[in-house]
Structure 1
């Protein structure tokens, strides 16, 4: 019998996120110079930092490539940032092999067709509320939040609460 998403939350050790449509709302603001600007939700960033500081692995796999995004993610403590990935399945397989991660213990949040095949390889495929229909169909959990609007925070918080790490994170040293 297949496990429910709530049962799988106990097994998650690793979070993998797409950027556009997951950490952002899919909007791109283009400057007159042609630079593409994205907006990220501050609470998603806080949750990713809390996850890292609590011992989880956090990885980014995105087809997009933006140095401003890379700097933001690095400032949160994320070291596994794969931008410009044209083959997310290959990037994912290399990542789990390097760190000897059980793919069943991975939560992946994607929102669009480029995430489809890699999401089929993880224990807990998830998506924001505004993901495309094909991604919603294969997701074991659909966030109540849209991409770029707290969906990442929602899934990280759920995992950490189920594993008893959310409240212990706030032991006074993370004010």
Structure 2
């Protein structure tokens, strides 16, 4: 049985999710008409709901401007900051506006475009299949791969 280290929720004020590679397996299906689709895990929908029940706000922070990101955010009831070119600057501005200390932020990212934002927060976390640079700097690397229930695993680690 896995004795995963718990993350104390009393220290968290916000959870930030990258989209591709966290909520998805980082692949995209492109149709001939240009529409795109991705695979997500229904387990993450439950994980998001469980975390909402613990009273922790959550947002999606994505460089993408694709309608699929917006549709998933709407489906799971999360605010989204999309089309973000500089995640570090956007996260800093968001936290200043909401008066959230960066040390109280948990950020799950999977690739080098998340690195600078993840360096700012108190709880940088990576999916199992994240880029080696991200895994090396993360406080915790989850057992779950992107798109396979990362958020559901996180929900079980919050106490």
Q: 3-state SS of the aligned residue for 1:120? A: helix
Residue of structure 1 in register with 2:103 after alignment: 104
Residue 95 (structure 1) shift: 1.3
Q: Which of the two has higher C-alpha Rg? A: 1
Asked whether 1:44 is paired with 2:44, we answer yes
Cα distance between partner residues in 2 of 1:69 and 1:10:
29
Residue of structure 1 in register with 2:13 after alignment: 13
Show the 5 A alignment for 1:1-175. 6=6, 10-79=10-79, 81-159=80-158, 162=159
TM norm structure 2: 0.90
Contact 2:47 2:154 survives alignment (8 Å): no
Tell me, which stretches of 5 or more residues in structure 1 are unaligned? 163-175
| Superposed structure 1 runs of 4+ greater than 6 Å apart | none
Stretches of structure 2 that go unaligned for 5 or more consecutive residues are: none
When the two chains are superposed, the root-mean-square deviation of aligned CA atoms in Å is 1.6
TM-score, normalised relative to structure 1: 0.83
Q: Secondary structure at the match of 1:69?
A: helix
Q: Matched residues in 2 for 1:129 and 1:147: separation?
A: 7
Please tell me whether the aligned partners of residues 52 and 78 of structure 1 are also in contact (alpha carbons under 8 angstroms): no
| Paired residue total | 155
| C-alpha distance in 2 between matches for 1:95 and 1:43 | 28
